[in-house]
Amino acid sequence: MASNIPNHAPSKLAMVPFVSVEHMMKLVNGIGVKQFLSELSVYVEEDFLRWELFDKAPRLATHSKEGVIELMPTSDGEVYGFKYVNGHPKNMSEGFQTVTAFGVLANVSTGYPMLLSEMTILTALRTAATSALAAKYLAPQGSRCMAMIGNGAQCEFQALAFKEILGINVFRLYDIDATATDKASRNLSGKGITIVKCKSSQEAVEGAQIITTCTADKQYATILTDNMVGTGVHINAIGGDCPGKTELHRDILLRSDIFVEYAPQTRIEGEIQKLPQDHAVTELWQVMTDSSEGRRTDNQITLFDSVGFAIEDFSALRYVRDQLAHTTNYIDLDMIADPDDPRDLFGMVMRAEDEWQATIC
């Protein structure tokens, strides 16, 4: 039913760009998925290079037996951003997304929001862009083959990001649900890459220089055992992303040089939750700024224990905000009360009531 409350004319500052799911899909397709991933990775890298400017804290999580709901805030002193995101592995069996999200950017100097955006699609894109960016610094030079264990919603984004940013052109896919592998293979056909469907994790890792694990079950799982991981590989572990949810055998961690986004958060949620709190890890920004070493030798096993961090979401929202200047793929929301006199919010409400009453008399 249409409202009879009269429209008002808010100022430009009261209007907030809103990117819906439909608008995000149009934006991604208008730019092109591969270009979007490549440009997004540049934004993430730019923000990692200025890491020390950001406010940082482990995300605020509310856990239940079904999953988790989290808030992920950060600020660079000029712009504030946060993401609301859930993780409910059981959702897939009920026909729902495992992960959904939305995000906000706001002006620090006024507190006014600058952007409201869906982030279910955008989180998948930023996760893939960050994974490939980390591998650019940590994976063996000349890598061309990646194993992808877990072929759910993230699989195709990962494959396209690694192809675009690292030149990976062979993907060995495995999932305990063969229909997921078929889905990924179908979606990736015609993308200039070779897909090899595998019947086990062991088969998938054969000949791969990069191993990506991305499964959804909230449990201490062993997707990779120690004997499956040879020297010299890079492991991109993105499925272990909350307390009680891991994918790798502990012995793999003890053989690897481990790289993380933000150690205080990863020690709670990542693969390293199984290790002592003082186990040595390196934050990725330190490698990017040359303050710590990344890959040093051909025999080194590097592990990116990725759980997702607020700065990556900030980068993704910043990228989307900048693209809006070149597109109409968004709408303006009237989100901020905008009285003529900032002290007279009540008067604004009462004037609206008077105008509404006039329309029904």
Rg (CA), the chain: 23
CA angle 161, 122, 95 (to 5 degrees): 105
Strand intervals (E) in 225-322: 234-237, 246-248, 257-260, 282-283, 302-305
Q: Would you say 263 and 306 are in contact if contact means Cβ atoms under 8 Å apart?
A: no
Residue 305 among the catalytic residues: no
DSSP 5: S
| Token pair belonging to 224 | 């990779």
What kind and span of H or E run contains 194?
strand 194-197
| Token pair belonging to 227 | 């004997």
Q: State residue 146 phi and psi, 5-degree precision.
A: -130, 135
d(CA 59, CA 68): 11
Catalytic one of 175, 241, 305, 313:
241
Which of 115, 49, 162 has the alpha carbon at shortest distance from 320?
A: 115
Which of 201, 227, 226, 203 has the alpha carbon at shortest distance from 214?
A: 201
d(CA 229, CA 234): 9
Angle in degrees, 0-180, between the axes of helices 21-31 and 33-49, rounded to the nearest 10: 100
Which of 324, 325, 321, 319 has the alpha carbon at shortest distance from 41?
A: 319
Give the catalytic positions in this structure. Answer: 241
